[in-house]
Amino acid sequence: MKVNIKSIIIIFLVALLGSGLGTFGVMSMYNRDNKGNTGSSVVVNEVQYTNLEKSDYTKAIEKAYNTVVEIKCTVKSNISSGFFFFEQGSTTSVSSGSGVIISSDGYIVTNEHVIDGLVDESTLEVKAYNGQTYSAKVIGYDAKTDLALLKIDGQDLPYASFVDSGQLMLGQDVIAIGNPLGLGISCSNGIISALEKEIAINNVYMTVIQTNAAVNAGNSGGGLFDINGNLIGIVNAKKASNYTNTSVEGMGYAIPANTVTRIIEELMNNGYVKDRATLGVKAAANSFYYTGDGVLVTEVIEGSSAEKAGIQANDIITALDGQPVSTYADLVKLLESETVGDTVDISILRDGKAMTFKITLQDASR
């Protein structure tokens, strides 16, 4: 076969020219589409989020979050055992806790133990959702239910809505909102693990809601909310190991809303809970002070029925109306069944000698 060199050269040149024109065309189109883009070419994959709907948790937190506040004050702390009370120590210290706004004009509910041992009301500060810090006043408190009512000067504040805690269900979704470790307001979620759980804190029996939502130091006084953002309880404790005194995860407790509303009404009206029978003495709640059977009287309140009856400090209460008293918890339970004005027989030991006194129970005062 004859090869025409001239024809081959012409075909090659035409092909080369076509290739150059094609390249030029492609580059022209690129430059036209990327006019003004002088940076390096980077391919970016555009991601479209398909789940932009607010979840039930998001909606609940939006409703409840701004109702929770940070609380800080200077206290003379007490030592607790058995259950982990969040803001306590052995000396004068700064107590950091939480609170929940319950009215637009600034009433706030928190735990009594957050302000227990308050050195001076001037040290009591509340930090709201907007970062504003308020001075607070103590309206009233109740150690028995571990609740306290504070007041700040505010208007049109966001506030929590209570629900009937008697209608709660086991396994119901909940959200804990508070000020853990004093680091600011944050949220955790879980379920109701137990209803009407009876626990003893410093030998005082309380009926509470148990949850596995994470709560830590500083959550005291914060809110436990339902999935609709309504307040179902005030967080006040978490379980601690009976052996190592370390906190246990997944066992937090909250005072039910029905208890909170009842006590807060009393505190708002009276500053304390009226018609609660008392002997008029201070007694040792911890075995650190007394290890035998009975309850050691550490102080007799001046002017009380106990003083008038002849009870003295260091007496050991062994029975009330014939019912044996082995521990402080026994005494508390027996007094709960009595009313103000009842006269009871108190059996004691004084220097090893058994004695009995009649005491007319008086109204516990602030």
Residue numbers annotated as active site: 113, 146, 220
Residue 353 · residue 339 · CB < 8 Å:
no
Torsion angles phi and psi, residue 268, rounded to 5: -70, -35
Label residues 28-52 b or e (16+ Cβ within 10 Å = b).
eeeeeeeeeeeeeeeeeeeeeeeee
Q: Which residues pair with 142 in a beta bridge?
A: 147
Letter string b/e over residues 241-264, b meaning 16 or more CB atoms within 10 A of that residue's CB: eeeeeebeeebbbbbbbbbbeebb
d(CA 135, CA 166): 34
**Which residues touch 21 (CB under 8 Å, ≥6 apart)?**
none
- Strands lying side by side in the sheet with 92-101: 133-135, 125-127, 68-76, 92-101, 107-110, 147-151, 137-142
CA angle, 285 then 290 then 296, to 5°: 65
Q: How far is CA 68 from the centre of its chain?
A: 10
- CA–CA separation, 231 vs 122, rounded Å? 29
